[in-house]
Amino acid sequence: MADPGGPAFPTAHVLLERHGLRAKKHFGQNFLTSERVFRAIVDATVRADDDWIVEIGAGLGTLTARLAERVPEGKVIALERDPDMVAVLQAELGHLDNIQIEPGDALKYDLKAAARWRGDPVTVCGNLPYHIAAPLLFRACAARGAVARAVVMVQKEMADRIVAGPGTKTYGAMGVMLQSYAACRMVVTAPSGAFTPAPKVDSAVVKLDFTAPPALELPDEEHHRSVVHAAFGQRRKTLRNALRAIYNPDAVAAALEATGIDGGRRGETLSLVEFAALSRAVPASSQTGIIVEEH
């Protein structure tokens, strides 16, 4: 590995040429090349020399090597499902004691088992393929307690939705649900030119800190998700009518009165605190319809 005064890490271009490979579209492979973005990701991810980091989609190992350098007493568990990339990881980084290369699907990886192995929570990090970014984030959220934080690269549009506040165009069910269980912030933006090959859209890195959730006194997660998705299910409808499409009208009326929330508002104007209050006030047993979830 490199040290601050030593040789640079091999670039994605160098590694692809060295191993005779090209990026594969069906794996959503776009390899980061920006040193500025690498540094921001590592700084946001690592808290101590003995951190354990589960890296999703380790690819060529360019981020893996940088993370491993910063956790000499810890471990980087590098998840990768492309056999060609696994071969690169093993060839380039397999000799390092603090890197564990795990071939396979990140959507099936047991984050709680990794935390039990360590004996403490782990950190999730990685450049997430767009089509599985939301499921991976919600898996990390579901494993909070075992996962201290997640620092991930996603498309800029998704990053905006994750950190959006009430009343904005990008505020929706995804942001409300993730912000209900984690402190979410934007770390750094990464234009398409920061990758090879360059994707058609810009990206951004977001950090979800599950150790600092807002104090919302939430009911069970399943019911909270149902209420949030019901509120956003039909954006043109008032909150009252959107909720009535899913819950008993009398229960909706009672909940709005109890919380003091104006049923004539739209769901996208409610704060996290108001959503939590509404979830506590609407009985789960009053659900009468099917909720179409929006991520």
Is the per-residue pLDDT at 30 higher than 50?
Answer: yes
Half-sphere exposure of 67 (CA within 13 A, CB side): 30
Closest by CA position to 89, among listed 109, 75, 103, 70? 103
Q: Can you give the pLDDT at residue 6? A: 38
Q: Which domains does the chain have, with CATH numbers?
A: 12-209 (3.40.50.150), 221-286 (1.10.8.100)
**Token representation of residue 207:** 């950090």
Q: Label residue 5 by pLDDT band (50, 70, 90).
A: very low
pLDDT tens-place string over residues 97-139: 999 999 999 999 999 999 999 999 999 999 998 889 999 999 9
Is the per-residue pLDDT at 257 higher than 90?
Answer: yes
**Which segments within 59-166 are labelled E, that is strand?**
75-80, 99-103, 122-127, 147-155
**Cα-based angle 212, 214, 219 (whole degrees, multiple of 5):** 120
pTM for the structure as a whole: 0.92
Is the per-residue pLDDT at 26 higher than 70?
Answer: yes
CB of 59 closer than 8 Å to CB of 86: no
Which has the minimum average pLDDT: 4-8, 73-77, 223-227? 4-8
Q: Can you give the pLDDT at residue 3? A: 43
